[in-house]
Amino acid sequence: MGNTQLIAGLFIGWLSATPVYAASQAINQKETESVITVTEKDRLNCTGELVNETLRVIYQKDPYKKVHKAREMIQPCADAGDAAAQLALAAVYYKSPDNPLSNEKKALAWAEKAGLQGNAVAQFKYAVALDNSGSLRFKERQPVLRKAFSWYYKAALQGHPEALFQIGKAFRKYSFDSVSAYMWHVLAFDE
């Protein structure tokens, strides 16, 4: 555990009793020979190469013309439980007027699945999606904001700089605690 995670845990460990999981390991793409392989136990072996290819398909010049192909490429790995693939599938379902597969509920569900595996990027993306969803009335948004804060916190404990910044922003905006807000912003800029 790095200094940032230790300090963050000490300062607001009392805010959440939820366990924090280890981050997903990066895949060395140079060592991968195939994108998807089936192992002896009929489990998919998904590589970072597949995820990157899927994201390239999504974010080309006309991003949503090939979104069906992207979903077909990544769905088996996401179903098999690969966190990076689940996050990529959340991007496939991202809400946009041009996206024929736009489905906010599916996007949130896949991002949450990836986040539950400890993927800090997925935890942050899920928190952002929660933060931007729902009603604009504060009283109706309080449960959603609490949930978003807990996901920002999980990502922040793993050193995700934007999550650290969002935690500081939440302290400044909702609790008016400028000391805590400053501490979180300093941690964010240290990353």
> What is each CA distance from 16 to 20, 153, 157, in whole angstroms?
10, 8, 11
State the pLDDT at residue 41: 40
State the pLDDT at residue 113: 92
**For residue 75, pLDDT beyond 80:** yes
**Mean pLDDT taken over the chain:** 66
**For residue 165, pLDDT beyond 70:** yes
**For residue 50, pLDDT beyond 60:** yes
Q: Give me the amino acid identity at 103.
A: N
**For residue 10, pLDDT beyond 70:** no
pLDDT digits (tens, 9 = 90+) for 12-26: 332 332 222 223 333
What share of the chain has pLDDT > 90, as a percent?
A: 1
pLDDT digits (tens, 9 = 90+) for 128-139: 888 877 655 666
State the pLDDT at residue 52: 63
Residue whose pair of structure tokens reads 């993927």 in the numeric block = 119
Where in the chain are the domains?
3-12+29-190
CB atoms within 10 A of CB 149: 22
pLDDT digits (tens, 9 = 90+) for 92-116: 887 666 767 777 888 889 989 988 9
Tell me yes or no: is domain 3-12+29-190 CATH 3.90.226.10: no
DSSP 8-state symbol, 53: H
Q: How far apart are CA 16 and CA 24, in angstroms?
A: 21
Q: How confident is the model at residue 81 (pLDDT cuts 50, 70, 90)?
A: confident
CB atoms within 10 A of CB 35: 17
State the pLDDT at residue 55: 63
Query: Which position has the higher pLDDT, 154 or 60?
Result: 154
